[in-house]
Amino acid sequence: MTTTTFGERLAAAESIHGPICVGIDPHPALLDAWGLSDDADGLEAFAETCVEAFDGMVAVVKPQVAFFEAYGSAGIGVLERTIEVLRASGTLVLADAKRGDIGSTMEAYARTWLADGPLGADAVTVSPYLGFGSLRPALELAHANHRGVFVLSATSNPEAAQVQQATVGGRTIAQSVVDDAAQLNPAGQPGSVGVVVGATLTEIPDLTMLNGPILLPGVGVQGGTAEKVRALLPEPLWPAAVPNVSRDVLRAGPSVTALRARLAAFQDEFAFLR
């Protein structure tokens, strides 16, 4: 087991590759665009190409778990192999699972994604909307195993506002998530409890005290740009930003050379963050 925290490993990886997190989202439309079959064989070919293109080239790779689950046990097997190969070579893996539940069920989710099992990743996304305290099993296991957790705070989907922007005790729910996460990150070292904030938003919670990574999905096709991120985050928070791009890179495939070139363009675009 590693003795360095996820926050420390992330900072080290970003110092080499920059802040970009690239997604592996094997959407059926992308499989078709790549000339692949919409089945487990096509999924495996897609994932293997992504691994070849991104392994050792980027700070973080984020498989979107749902697109693998859609193919049943064969899809989960592809996800297992994808995670194993990336982590074995030192590329950080963020499992985009958005898990959120209570009690023993949350404990099981935590063991799945944050332990040394076949789906064990470096970090996982979780949803706090059953109450931040419901995440305790994941947060505790992540701390014990030197893994990371990214907690959904302010997402860009329009339906989110009725929950995330609701106010309780003078704070929005999104702000309370950030504040609760901040309490788990020690001062003086990179935190391992991050939050998820949409890169296409125009208003976000105050992240000043988080001391943890800020995952910014929505870069590229969804409209997130370097200029928007620059405007969204005050400069002191730039080192914490982890812009996430998926489809805008993946649609350059299936050529490994083209995938790497598109990734490199985003790495250059967001180099100002580091």
Set 81, 87, 98, 247: catalytic member: 98
Asked if the structure places residue 123 within a domain, the reply is: yes
pLDDT per residue over 78-105, tens digit each?
999 999 999 999 999 999 999 999 999 9
* pLDDT at residue 3 in the model: 82
- 98 assigned to active site: yes
Which DSSP helix (H) or strand (E) runs through 32? helix 28-33
Number of domains in the chain: 1
Task: Return the percentage of the chain with pLDDT > 90, whole number.
Answer: 97
pLDDT per residue over 121-150, tens digit each?
999 999 999 999 999 999 999 999 999 999
Q: How confident is the model at residue 1 (pLDDT cuts 50, 70, 90)?
A: low
Neighbours of 255 (CB within 10 A): 13
Report the predicted TM-score, pTM, of the whole model to 2 decimal places: 0.97
Asked if the structure places residue 128 within a domain, the reply is: yes
Containing structural domain, residue 265: 6-273
- Between CA 92 and CA 23 the distance in angstroms is 12
Looking at the predicted structure, is the pLDDT value of residue 75 above 90? yes
Asked if the structure places residue 236 within a domain, the reply is: yes
Asked if the structure places residue 29 within a domain, the reply is: yes
